[in-house]
Amino acid sequence: MSGTTERLWGLVASYVEAEGIELDDLEVLGQGKGTIVRVTVDGPEAEDTGRMTVGVDRIAALSRGLSRLLDAEDPIAGSYTLEVSSPGLERKLRRPSHYGKSLGREVKVKTHVPVDDARQHRGTLTASDVEGFTMDVDGRPRTIAYENVASARTVFEWEKAPKPGSRR
């Protein structure tokens, strides 16, 4: 993490935690007038899904509060755009904690080097620790170190709605 990102993480994490929300991720992208500060937050688990949730109204309120905080602290030189969002249905997996939250979900992973003779992997995430994770790919465990991951995300499968008048 860069010094600016570290400082932002400390400011933003303290603020969102005081609001009962978890800071899931923070990225500073670009430079100068094109700088984007992307904040991803997650809320308490929904009882029906077991997944973390945070609504649009809550995100809007957090965005206004974070904007005031960052204007007062001025941790970024020049102008920037603040984006506040939730991880969404297809969550990027960038930190070990993201993998831990996604156990039991289907994931799609691309690796820098071949793992079990493949660079693209799709399966169910079954375990994670500080060094890497294991996923079930076609009934076989595949362990991948975080350092070998080029990109990873959860996969959400949309169910097709039945045609009108048909029975399920």
Query: Edge to edge, what strands does the sheet with 81-85 contain?
Result: 22-29, 36-42, 81-85
Residues in contact with 87: Cβ distance below 8 Å, sequence separation at least 6, in sequence order: 24, 25, 40, 42, 52
Highest mean pLDDT among 7-21, 22-36, 118-132, 152-166: 118-132
How does the average pLDDT of the chain come out, rounded? 87
Is residue 166 predicted with pLDDT exceeding 70? no
Is residue 4 predicted with pLDDT exceeding 50? yes
- Cα 26 to Cα 18, 121, 164: the distances in Å are 17, 26, 44
Over range 91-113, report the average pLDDT.
Answer: 93
* Residue pointed to by tokens 């007062």: 72
Least confident window among 82-91, 106-115, 141-150: 82-91
Rounded to two decimals, the pTM is: 0.71
CATH 3.30.300.70 domain position(s) in the chain: 3-85
- As assigned by CATH, the class of the 3-85 domain is alpha beta
Is residue 90 predicted with pLDDT exceeding 90? no
Is residue 23 predicted with pLDDT exceeding 70? yes
Name the band, by pLDDT with cuts 50, 70 and 90, for residue 45. low
Name the band, by pLDDT with cuts 50, 70 and 90, for residue 42. confident
Q: What are the φ and ψ backbone dihedral angles of 31, each rounded to 5 degrees? A: -145, 165
CATH fold label, 96-154:
SH3 type barrels. (2.30.30)
CATH 2.30.30.180 domain position(s) in the chain: 96-154
Name the band, by pLDDT with cuts 50, 70 and 90, for residue 35. confident
pLDDT value at residue 55:
82
What's the alpha-carbon Rg for the chain, to the nearest Å? 19
| 116 vs 89 pLDDT, higher one | 116
